[in-house]
Amino acid sequence: MAVAGPAGRRVERMTTRIDHLVVTAPTLDVGEAWVRSFLGVGLRPGGSHSRMGTHNRLLRLGPGVYLEVIAVDPGAPPPDRPRWFGLDELALGSRPRLAAWVARTDDLDSAASASPEVLGPVGPMSRGDLHWRLTIPPDGSLPLNGAGPLLIQWETGPHPAERLPDDGCKLTGLTIVHPDAELVRAMLTAIGFAGPVEVRSGSPKGLSASIETPNGPRLLGTADQGTAGIRSSVKG
Encode pLDDT of 217-231 as tens digits: 999 986 344 333 333
The domain locations on the chain are 13-233
pLDDT above 70 coverage of the chain, percent: 88
pLDDT above 90 coverage of the chain, percent: 78
The confidence band for 203, taking pLDDT boundaries of 50, 70 and 90, is confident
Residues in the chain: 236
Q: What per-residue confidence (pLDDT) applies to 157?
A: 75
* Distance (Å) of CA 31 to CA 48, 99, 160, 166, 187: 16, 12, 19, 20, 29
CATH 1.10.510.10 fits 13-233, yes or no: no
- CB proximity list for 228: less than 8 A, separation 6 or greater: none
Q: What per-residue confidence (pLDDT) applies to 227?
A: 34
Q: What per-residue confidence (pLDDT) applies to 11?
A: 44
Beta strands in 6-65 (DSSP E): 10-12, 16-24, 44-49, 54-60
Is the pLDDT score of 15 beyond 80? yes
Quick one: average pLDDT of 117-144? 92
> What is the rounded distance in angstroms from the CA atom of residue 136 to the CA atom of residue 100?
13
- CB proximity list for 74: less than 8 A, separation 6 or greater: none
Quick one: average pLDDT of 137-147? 93
The whole-chain average pLDDT of the chain stands at: 87
Is the pLDDT score of 7 beyond 70? no
> What is the rounded distance in angstroms from the CA atom of residue 131 to the CA atom of residue 167?
25
Is the pLDDT score of 110 beyond 50? yes
Quick one: average pLDDT of 127-149? 93
Quick one: average pLDDT of 33-45? 96
